[in-house]
Amino acid sequence: MGETDIQAEKPDLTAPGDDAPVDLDAEFQDSHIQEILDKLDRELVGLKPVKTRIREIAALLLIDRLRRKFELVSETPTLHMCFTGNPGTGKTTVAMRMGEILKRLGYVREGHLVTVTRDDLVGQYIGHTAPKTKEVIKKAMGGVLFIDEAYYLYKPENERDYGAESIEILLQVMENNRDDLVVILAGYKDKMDRFFQSNPGMRSRVAHHIDFPDYSPGELMDIGELMLEEQKYQFSKAGAEAFREYISLRVTLEHFANARSIRNALDRARLRQANRLFAKRGSPLKKADLMTIESEDIRASRVFVEGRLDAKLNEAPEQP
């Protein structure tokens, strides 16, 4: 025992001298971080500001690692984040990637993502909240804790709301365990802003606020094509045209959820394609038939009826 004590006091002989050069590029190659950044670029359409911020965070952590080699100890950077944006803008997907990146850079041990909402953290009865919250934190330790619609933790209208207890515990862990747990709060921007106004402690612990904008129609089309490609499907020329039109109508309708709506639309198109092929089951099928989404697989959607009706109603002159 005494021996290890003595060893701990010895200077670190592996630390480079002040003038020794370090190879940032080698360190970068070694982390394989480029692979993840490339994958992010390839698999996620748009999201330019989000991708830029992720690169910046990766650079910060890499430099931090090199600084530590020179024993330039600094505090572990705070990496808790807030992702704001409408449904289906890629918040959960990016949080998952963030976990991978943080793991590669040695910031967290596992890099897994635990997604929760208020119900997973807050109990119904007195004494239930602390154990619930602690259990979730235990699961997420070494990775990323993603709290969806985090503002529901705080209910100012209830005098005695257990959400406050959960926030209290989270705040402590976010401070004391920030070298092994990254908390990401997600939700709508306006609600999140209000939440931070009433919870300055939470605001001060969140270092990165990243906004996820709605996708443009062109980006939604690219996302659709990418999703099909990943599943070894493709649009025919007329199919692509129909889907472009579908998007222009869908974005105006209720419950539009960006990329999520695109995924759902394509799931239904695949269903219709399968039925179309099944109906013709006498004739031989080629590989291309099995892969292709045709115009009719898209145009059978209700969106073509509802969207057009909506547009007509909006165009109609107001009744006197």
Ligand X SMILES: Nc1ncnc2c1ncn2[C@@H]1O[C@H](COP(=O)(O)OP(=O)(O)OP(=O)(O)O)[C@@H](O)[C@H]1O
Interaction site with Mg ion (CB under 5 A): 92
Which residues ranging from 18 to 77 are in contact with ligand X (CB under 6 A)? 44-47
List the beta strands (DSSP E) in the chain. Answer: 81-85, 113-116, 144-148, 182-187, 208-212, 234-235, 292-293
Residue type, 207: A
Q: Which two tokens stand for residue 137?
A: 């934190």
Q: HEC string of 114-138?
A: EEECHHHHCCCCCCCHHHHHHHHHH
Helix axis angle for 33-43 and 48-69, nearest 10°, is 180
With CB cut-offs between 5 and 8 Å by kind, which of Mg ion, ligand X, none does residue 244 bind?
none
Q: How far is the CB of 159 from ligand X (least distance, A)?
A: 30
Q: How far is the CB of 91 from ligand X (least distance, A)?
A: 3
Q: How far is the CB of 63 from Mg ion (least distance, A)?
A: 31
Q: How far is the CB of 148 from Mg ion (least distance, A)?
A: 6
Contact letters (x/-) for ligand X, 69-98, by CB under 6 A? ----------------x-xxxxxxx-----
How crowded is the C-beta side of 192, counted as CA atoms within 13 Å?
21
Dump the DSSP string for 32-51: THHHHHHHHHHHS-S-HHHH
- Looking at beta carbons only, is 93 or 248 nearer to Mg ion? 93
Q: Is residue 221 a contact partner of residue 243, using CB atoms and an 8 Å limit?
A: yes
Q: How far is the CB of 219 from ligand X (least distance, A)?
A: 7
Round to whole Å and give the CA distance between 192 and 179. Answer: 25
With CB cut-offs between 5 and 8 Å by kind, which of Mg ion, ligand X, none does residue 143 bind?
none
- Looking at beta carbons only, is 18 or 230 nearer to ligand X? 230
- Looking at beta carbons only, is 87 or 142 nearer to Mg ion? 87
Interface with ligand X (CB under 6 A): 44-47, 85, 87-93, 223, 226, 257, 259-260, 263
